[in-house]
């Protein structure tokens, strides 16, 4: 094999690796304004009714019955995960005694409220409940 072919093969495999990586980490960031203020307000109404009793107010400093959804522990654990994963976590497990009772609209509003509580900016376009789109957006809260 000549040197040129080796070089070509090496750069081809490097390219493959970076393509695979790009698929693993969602392309868009929730820092780009992916929900609206109106949506987050709707989400707060659902949160106060169904989540507050365990997760506490977003202004709490210490968790009580359940982890806070906007402290550094939450941000560190969710930073590189997608909004689809957060949506599914809530849909499949929350509230623990009534999982599966929230509508997709309520779920996406809750995600919007959690983003706003993590100081992620609102934008002009509402967040969609489409799983494939949510998979493309990583939560990306907290410091870099
Ligand atoms: C009866 C108490 C209770 C209620 C009500 C409740 N949760 Fe939870 N939640 C928990 C507990 C306990 C955990 C930690 C165990 C786990 O991750 O499943 C948790 C974990 C979570 C997590 C993962 C947190 C992390 O750091 O990874 C999210 C997100 C969440 N809840 C969202 C919600 C939302 C949104 C609601 C309202 C629709 C809700 N929960 C209602 C008890 C509750």
Domain ranges of the chain: 28-138
Residue 144 CA to ligand 1 centre (angstroms):
25
- pLDDT score of 144: 73
Q: Residue 67: CB within 6 Å of ligand 1?
A: yes
Task: State the Cα–Cα distance between residues 39 and 45, nearest whole angstrom.
Answer: 10
The class of domain 28-138 in CATH terms is: mainly alpha
Q: What is the pTM of this model?
A: 0.86
Q: What is the pLDDT of residues 11-33, one digit of tens each?
A: 555 555 454 554 567 889 999 99
Q: Whose CA is closest to atom 32 on ligand 1?
A: 90
- Output the six-digit token pair for 20: 């695979």
Give the least confident one: 12-21, 81-90, 94-103, 114-123: 12-21
Q: What is the pLDDT of residues 120-129, one digit of tens each?
A: 999 999 999 9
DSSP state at residue 82: B
Q: What are phi and psi of 46, to 5 degrees?
A: -65, -45
């Amino acid at each position: 094999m000549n040197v040129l072919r080796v070089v070509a093969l090496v750069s081809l495999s490097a390219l493959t690796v970076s393509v695979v990586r790009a698929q693993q980490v969602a392309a868009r960031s929730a820092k780009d304004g992916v929900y609206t203020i109106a949506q987050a307000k709707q989400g707060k109404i659902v949160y106060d009714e169904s989540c507050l009793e365990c997760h506490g107010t977003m202004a709490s400093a210490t968790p009580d019955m359940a982890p806070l959804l906007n402290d550094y522990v939450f941000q560190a654990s969710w930073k590189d995960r997608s909004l689809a994963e957060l949506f599914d976590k809530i849909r499949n497990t929350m509230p623990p005694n009534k999982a599966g009772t929230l509508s997709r609209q309520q779920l996406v509003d809750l995600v919007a409220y959690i983003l706003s509580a993590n100081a992620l900016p609102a934008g002009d376009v509402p967040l969609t409940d489409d799983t494939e789109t949510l998979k493309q957006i990583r939560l990306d809260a907290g410091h870099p």
